[in-house]
Amino acid sequence: MKLTACVLALLCSIVCMAQQEKIQGRIVNDIDEPVIGATVSLKNTSIAAITGRDGSFVLQLKEPLNNDDTLVISSVGYINQSLPASRFSGSSSSSTVILIKRITELDEAVVIAYGTTTRRLNLGSITKVSGADIEKQPVSNPLATLAGRVPGLVVTQTSGVPGSHVSLQIRGRASLDLDISRNDPLFIIDGVPFETGNLPVGQLTSAANRPFRSNLDPPEGISPFNSINPQDIESIEILKDADATAIYGSRGANGVILITTKKAKPGKTKLTINYQTGMSQPARLQEMMTTAEYVEMRKEAFANDGIAMTTANAPDILLWDTTHYNDFSKLLITNNSQTTQVQTTVSGGNNYTQFQIGGGYRKETTTFPGSFANTRGSFQMNVFHSPQSKKWDIRVSAIYSSDRNRLLSVDLARFLLLPPLLKLYNDDGSLKTQDAGINYSSASLVNPLLELEKKYNSLNKNLSANLQFNYRIFNGFTFRTSFGYSTFDNEEFTVIPKSYYPPETSTLASSTQTTSSRNSWIVEPQLVYDLKRKKLEMQFLAGTTFQHQDFQSLYAVGEGYTNDLLLQSLDAAATIRASNSKSEYRYNAAFGRINFNWRSKYLVNISGRRDGSSRFGPGKQFANFGAVGIGWIFTAEPWLQNQRILSFGKIRSSFGVTGNDQVGNYRYLDLWNSTSNPYQGIPGLFPATLFNPDYNWERNRKLEAAIELGFFNDGLMLNIAWYRHRCSNQLVEYMLPSQTGFTSVTKNLPALVENRGWEIDFQTTNIRRKELLWKTNFNISFPVNKLISFPGLAGSPYAGVYKEGHSLSVLEKYTYLGVDPLTGVYTFLDINGDGNINGLDETIIGDMDPDYYGGLGNSISWKQFQIDAFFEFRDQMGKTVLSETSTRPGTFRNQPAIFRDRWRKPGDVAMFQKYSTVTSTTIPTGRAAQLLGNSDGAYTNGSYVRFKTLAISYNLSEMVLRKLKIQTGQLYLQAQNLATITNFSGNDPENMVFYQTPPLRTIVAGIKLTL
């Protein structure tokens, strides 16, 4: 300030003294915008000036220019330039200088709500994952590429079946009720909400579903994100705090994920081809017993129980061949999965018109036997145009994809529980449906190879198109609007052919077909006013949203097919049952934001939104949300200029309120559904749900404070953030005793859930030499989830589920004491000493939330080689196979091999209790096994470090490129889930489910050429 004033005063005095030589010019950036507030000085003198609103400057000289006089131009965010001053001299000459933006990581564009900013000026908590990091991971679901890379984001792959669900959680669970709100963030692709969100779109069960799903688990199925090609993505921004998300109002409570597709850039026309191929295998599998061990277990169990083996209770031992052995994991779920992917992109254009067209194809087979696969074809395009005046511009972008999943109806991993001596083939090579009169016809006794006949097929078609129009009305005023249209169609069918059933049964073939379709349009007109002064930059944004979504689905079952020829034709069915569903969702909002930036030093953001949603009853539809963010870039202060350690420092904080309307449509109406079948030809109706006209928005108050530091010329960037999110007015499906007619009703609860924690991340450039660059990035999050208050918890249906002062995933369990060496039965601590082990003996043993998690990445480029290695880690409690109800060693089911270490005779000190054929909880072993599943003995350390990604690439040398006449060329190897370090005994510590295909280890090789 002072200095500038002095210079100005000096200049004035000079002007007053005499008519002297001057130099003048204009400074613009690469897109021809004036650079305001740039400093222009004559080297080795005190003569300097600051550019005005049109970017022009005038320097009055005291003495004539020398030939070697140099003009130095500097501005925050731009690379300094030195030019011969003579270029600007002469009374009539006026030269234009183009300043090049300084591309440090601080000045990279970061996509935010309704605009972009830079990391330097950003006041919200936003993490960007770049397309380069996404491209290095050989996975089909873009959400899977985020694992470990974003502080505050937990990514869990639920299954290794291609196309299956990937769950995301930003800064912990805020909602009590997963049935209503799965705490899914809002997803926005190029400004258009992705309306399916992360919810499964299918209606049928398939191998991609969790095989033994309980009501507590969220629904799964084919992930809608599997229809989005990761190669089309330029960046994914994860918005967490109030400043970043409040402008999304009612839908920002669980964070927002902005997916930006690749945009055309001006330049030479390029054709890029990227081809890769590879294979996958389950990353980790638990070992099951062999036939010898199984038979030993069964016999020992009968002996322990004192039960004589009969053909009725032990057909496997007495009637079957007890030497026959199938390694079911080898047979069913560890076949090689093949991946092939090809991607081509054409792009080019000039400053006024740019285009990009991309097409991709990917095929990934399963690890099951048989020809099951996920294939995706995708298409992406965008076009940009503006007239030479740059008065307006228009951008159209669209992605379309067709994601076909040919699977079977169940995940074969569940059949690892089959007795390993089960014979699968008859002597004539046909599949067995019974052995020695015992039919393979119950849920736990089937021929798994027959299950391959139960085909499942799903086709997801996703179109998301967006038009953005900007019109610069006059100085600083811009009108812009976006029109978005998206449609997501799903078709599925499953067939159970006649060949599935034993030939002697009379059951006929059947098929089920479903379709669903979601159409949505959104219009968001906005008015922006940019105010640029020498020291002050402000932006005013006002806009409104109109959104409409409709949903319809159809479900049809055809039964009684007499042959398997036309199973997909409903006409060929003897009987047809069908049902359908339709709903509508409308959403309306007005929003505004003011950004205030004083000399890139003091920053303030104020944003607000008024939302209306049709998901609430009359009088409850509208609500207000908003946030304030403030920041101070203290390294811009003069007193920090004369040091070389700290190159950047910012303190920022934000507070605001966001909401959640993730509750089904029409829940406020008293509705009846049609029965699937008429009664005597009369259509039937039945009550759909209990209804409550009075429920209202859930509110999430978010507070955040952070410090962002750059050391040694930004060679080390360190961010530390603290946050506290408090979610109240909880929307729940309030559990009711079924005497009310239903088991729940939609309702608000005055409970308060808090998520707070620390998030730390840093990036360093360890070595920067001519041919060697080594960079490291690291992030770690320490989340704490807590139910702060819940008035009336003790008398509520949640009394047994939640505890005040503890995490929502609190575990209240028995205390396991080990196997009694005398009786060979698990023992537990009888805390109240009443001689019974019951609910009163449970204590809190912890929770299922991670204590900390994060990732560590290293990236080294040396000459033409580039190596990226990324590790993900998570410290958490693990749930072992002992918690599964299928875990009853001794019964007519195979068991994990760990049970070899069991109690056999008095005096034995063993890990596990004696085998027993009886599951009834009225006998000691049955009761003890049930208690163990609910004790701390069924929980273990589930922490892990996973070598998530390894990518090695080699860039062809200039010489080779010239010879091949291509612009660039690259050969690469990529691996995902290469290794996992853990003490966890089950399949995979990431999803901790048993008897389903675990996440896969994938290795691919590829080539990428630009012509």
Partner 1 sequence: MKQYYALMVAGMSLICVSCKKFVSISPPMDQAQTDEIFSNDQAAISAVVGLYSQIMFSGNTILNSASTLYPSLSSDELINTVANPDYDSFRSNDILLSATGHNRLWRNGYRYIYHTNTVLAGLAKSIMITDSIRKQLSGEMLVMRALCYSQLSSLYGKVPLVLSKDYELNLSMPQTTLDSINHQIVTDLISAKSLLKEQYPTVGRMRPNKWTATALLARMYLNMKDWSSANQQATEVLNNSVYSLVPNLNNVFLSGSAEAILQITPVGTINTTDGNMFNPATATTRPSFALTTSLLNAFEANDQRKNSWTKTVTVSGQSYTHPYKYKVRTGGAPYTELYCYFRLAEQYLIRAEARAQLDDITGAQQDLNKIRNRAGLPNTTANTKAALLQAIERERRIEFMFEWGHRWADLKRWDRANAVLSPIKGTSWQTTDQLYPIPEAEIELNPFLVQNPGY
Site for partner 1 in 264-293 (CB under 8 A): none
Site for partner 1 in 669-688 (CB under 8 A): 669-680, 682-688
Q: C-alpha angle with apex 940: 939 to 944, nearest 5 degrees?
A: 135
Site for partner 1 in 771-810 (CB under 8 A): 795, 797, 799-800
For partner 1, give the closer residue by CB, 549 or 977.
549
Site for partner 1 in 68-97 (CB under 8 A): none
Minimum distance from residue 802 beta carbon to partner 1 (Å): 13
For partner 1, give the closer residue by CB, 741 or 750.
741
Minimum distance from residue 357 beta carbon to partner 1 (Å): 36
Is residue 892 a contact point for partner 1 (CB under 8 A)?
Answer: yes
Q: What is the DSSP letter of 958?
A: H
Distances (CA, A) of 920 to 113, 822, 913, 916: 57, 21, 15, 10
For partner 1, give the closer residue by CB, 272 or 519.
519
Angstrom distance (rounded) from CA 561 to CA 680: 24
Q: C-alpha angle with apex 485: 374 to 185, nearest 5 degrees?
A: 65
For partner 1, give the closer residue by CB, 273 or 736.
736
Question: For partner 1, which residue of 271, 449, 736, 867 counts as binding (CB under 8 A)?
Answer: 736
Q: What is the DSSP letter of 331?
A: I
For partner 1, give the closer residue by CB, 15 or 685.
685
For partner 1, give the closer residue by CB, 829 or 923.
923
Contact window for partner 1 (CB under 8 A) among 2-10, 25-33, 740-748, 814-822: 740-748
For partner 1, give the closer residue by CB, 385 or 586.
586
Site for partner 1 in 162-221 (CB under 8 A): none
Site for partner 1 in 862-891 (CB under 8 A): 891
Minimum distance from residue 801 beta carbon to partner 1 (Å): 10
320 in helix, strand or coil? coil
Question: For partner 1, which residue of 355, 711, 742, 778 counts as binding (CB under 8 A)?
Answer: 742
Minimum distance from residue 417 beta carbon to partner 1 (Å): 15
Contact window for partner 1 (CB under 8 A) among 260-268, 341-349, 724-732, 736-744: 736-744
Contact between residue 198 and residue 327 where contact means Cβ atoms under 8 Å apart:
no
Minimum distance from residue 557 beta carbon to partner 1 (Å): 9
For 2, phi and psi rounded to 5 degrees?
Answer: -60, -45
Angstrom distance (rounded) from CA 924 to CA 926: 6
Site for partner 1 in 386-445 (CB under 8 A): 434, 436-439, 441-442
358, HSE (Cβ side, Cα atoms, 13 Å)? 30
Minimum distance from residue 250 beta carbon to partner 1 (Å): 11
30 alpha carbon, distance to own chain's centre:
35
Site for partner 1 in 920-939 (CB under 8 A): 920-922
For 789, phi and psi rounded to 5 degrees?
Answer: -150, 150
Minimum distance from residue 511 beta carbon to partner 1 (Å): 13
Q: Is the dihedral of CA 238, 241, 246, 250 positive or negative?
A: positive
**Three-state SS string across 97-112, please?**
EEECECCCHHHCEEEE
Task: Show Cβ contacts of residue 123 under 8 Å, excluding neighbours closer than 6 positions.
Answer: 243, 603, 604, 605, 629, 630, 631, 652, 654
For partner 1, give the closer residue by CB, 470 or 953.
470
Contact between residue 914 and residue 901 where contact means Cβ atoms under 8 Å apart:
no
For partner 1, give the closer residue by CB, 189 or 811.
811
Q: Residue 200, exposed/middle/buried by CB under 10 A (0-12, 13-18, 19+)?
A: buried
Minimum distance from residue 268 beta carbon to partner 1 (Å): 41
Closest CA to 668 of 755, 749, 565, 748: 748
Given the structure tokens 């005013």, which residue do they identify? 540
Q: What is the DSSP letter of 144?
A: G
Is residue 613 a contact point for partner 1 (CB under 8 A)?
Answer: yes
933, HSE (Cβ side, Cα atoms, 13 Å)? 15
Angstrom distance (rounded) from CA 731 to CA 105: 41
Q: How far apart are the first and last CA of the chain?
A: 52
Count of chain residues binding partner 1 (CB under 8 A)? 93
Q: Residue 906, exposed/middle/buried by CB under 10 A (0-12, 13-18, 19+)?
A: exposed
What is the amino acid identity at position 221? G
5 in helix, strand or coil? helix
Is residue 919 a contact point for partner 1 (CB under 8 A)?
Answer: yes
If one counts every other C-beta atom within 10 angstroms of the C-beta of residue 483, the result is: 17
Contact between residue 70 and residue 89 where contact means Cβ atoms under 8 Å apart:
no
Long-range contacts of 830-833 (CB under 8 A, 24+ apart): none
For partner 1, give the closer residue by CB, 36 or 929.
929
Minimum distance from residue 666 beta carbon to partner 1 (Å): 5
For partner 1, give the closer residue by CB, 683 or 907.
683
Is residue 618 a contact point for partner 1 (CB under 8 A)?
Answer: yes
Binding to partner 1 by CB under 8 A, coded x per residue (else -) over 970-989, reads: --------------------
Contact window for partner 1 (CB under 8 A) among 325-333, 667-675, 804-812, 953-961: 667-675
Angstrom distance (rounded) from CA 787 to CA 176: 9
Which run of H or E residues covers position 15?
A: helix 2-17
Q: C-alpha angle with apex 979: 869 to 365, nearest 5 degrees?
A: 100
Contact window for partner 1 (CB under 8 A) among 344-352, 411-419, 734-742, 999-1007: 734-742
Binding to partner 1 by CB under 8 A, coded x per residue (else -) over 620-639, reads: -xx-----------------
Site for partner 1 in 520-549 (CB under 8 A): 525, 527, 529, 540, 542-544, 546
434 in helix, strand or coil? strand
Site for partner 1 in 307-326 (CB under 8 A): 311-313, 315, 319
Site for partner 1 in 488-517 (CB under 8 A): 502, 504-507
Contact window for partner 1 (CB under 8 A) among 67-75, 613-621, 712-720, 868-876: 613-621
Minimum distance from residue 920 beta carbon to partner 1 (Å): 6
For partner 1, give the closer residue by CB, 476 or 715.
476
For partner 1, give the closer residue by CB, 477 or 712.
477
Angstrom distance (rounded) from CA 898 to CA 626: 54
Contact window for partner 1 (CB under 8 A) among 23-31, 246-254, 481-489, 661-669: 661-669
What is Dmax (Cα atoms) for the chain?
Answer: 120
Contact between residue 97 and residue 25 where contact means Cβ atoms under 8 Å apart:
yes
Length of the chain, in residues: 1011
For partner 1, give the closer residue by CB, 326 or 917.
917
Site for partner 1 in 472-491 (CB under 8 A): 476-477
Contact window for partner 1 (CB under 8 A) among 13-21, 609-617, 721-729, 856-864: 609-617
For partner 1, give the closer residue by CB, 292 or 319.
319
Minimum distance from residue 450 beta carbon to partner 1 (Å): 15
Angstrom distance (rounded) from CA 199 to CA 188: 14
Angstrom distance (rounded) from CA 606 to CA 604: 7
Binding to partner 1 by CB under 8 A, coded x per residue (else -) over 342-381, reads: ----------------------------------------
